[in-house]
Chains A and B, each alone.
Chain A
Amino acid sequence: GAGVSQSPSNKVTEKGKDVELRCDPISGHTALYWYRQRLGQGLEFLIYFQGNSAPDKSGLPSDRFSAERTGESVSTLTIQRTQQEDSAVYLCASSFGPRRGGYTFGSGTRLTVV
């Protein structure tokens, strides 16, 4: 597609429920990144995909967080047993590869855990 598409744009969920966040990267972009942005904060790295493998998962905050990617296409970030501290905007970005840094970001999914 023309840009990075994320869905849903907003999600309100009850504490303890599982959520799935979706990212459609730009066609041809082999690298895909997930970042978390808490209110008034910078971007916190979660996980990086090159193709469908994840060489760097170092930013996932706990084992409640997982992500997968199908080929060089869609990625899903899953948060199990959500907690209120998970409330944030989850941003996805893609690029042609990790070396140049010119990521294109989606508009994010705003997750609110009540």
Chain B
Amino acid sequence: GQQLNQSPQSMFIQEGEDVSMNCTSSSIFNTWLWYKQDPGEGPVLLIALYKAGELTSNGRLTAQFGITRKDSFLNISASIPSDVGIYFCAGLYTGANSKLTFGKGITLSVRP
């Protein structure tokens, strides 16, 4: 089946630093999404990408849909303590009954 690869499992950064997270797949997707999950909550959508090569920003977040349609990255600039959480990438290959496939997530810790 389709699998999304996110690594490393955990990242530790200093407040104010930028961080980049990558997500790769052996399969093509035509939609990529990035979600963040806080403890005890469900994932919340951060950014959605619908076209190969698309670069989209949402505040301090920037994400790109890879040109091969098999990868995406998420950048967080000038990190703050509330950026702590688990970041999931998700891919969708749209069809009549498509559903999101999720990566295993990266746990981000921000040291003050």
Determine if B100 and A103 form an interchain contact, defined as CB atoms under 8 angstroms apart.
yes
Contact A98 B42 (CB under 8 A): no
Question: Which chain A residues (86-114) contact chain B, with CB distance < 8 Å?
Answer: 91, 93, 98-108
Number of interface residues of B (CB under 8 A): 25
Q: Is the CB of A91 within 8 A of B42?
A: yes
A98 touches B101 (CB 8 A): no
What does the 1/0 interface line of B32-71 toward A look like (CB < 8 Å)?
0100000011111100101000000000000000000000
> A105, B43: Cβ atoms under 8 Å?
yes
User: Would you call B103 and A55 a contact (CB within 8 A)?
Assistant: no
Question: With A101-B48, A105-B44 given, is the CB distance from A56 to B99 under 8 Å?
Answer: yes
Most chain B CB within 10 A, of A43, A48, A101, is at: A101
* Complex Cα gap A100–B90 (Å): 12
**Chain A residue contacts of B82, Cβ below 8 A:** none
Query: Do B97 and A4 touch (CB < 8 A)?
Result: no
B104 and A50 form a contact (CB under 8 A) = no
- Of listed B50, B88, B92, B99, residue having the most chain A CB within 10 A: B99
Interface of B, secondary structure class, is loop
B91 to chain A, nearest CB (A): 8
- Across the interface, do A55 and B96 meet the contact criterion of CB distance under 8 Å? yes
Q: Is A41 at the interface (CB under 8 A from chain B)?
A: yes
The contact sample of 19 A-B pairs, CB cut-off 8 A, is A4-B42, A33-B99, A41-B104, A42-B103, A43-B100, A43-B102, A45-B100, A45-B101, A55-B96, A56-B97, A91-B43, A93-B42, A98-B97, A99-B92, A99-B98, A101-B33, A104-B45, A105-B43, A107-B40
Given A45-B101, A107-B41: 11 more A-B contacts, CB < 8 Å: A43-B102, A48-B97, A48-B99, A91-B42, A91-B43, A93-B42, A99-B98, A100-B31, A101-B33, A101-B100, A105-B43
On B, residues with C-beta under 8 Å from A are 31, 33, 40-45, 48, 50, 88, 90, 92, 94-105
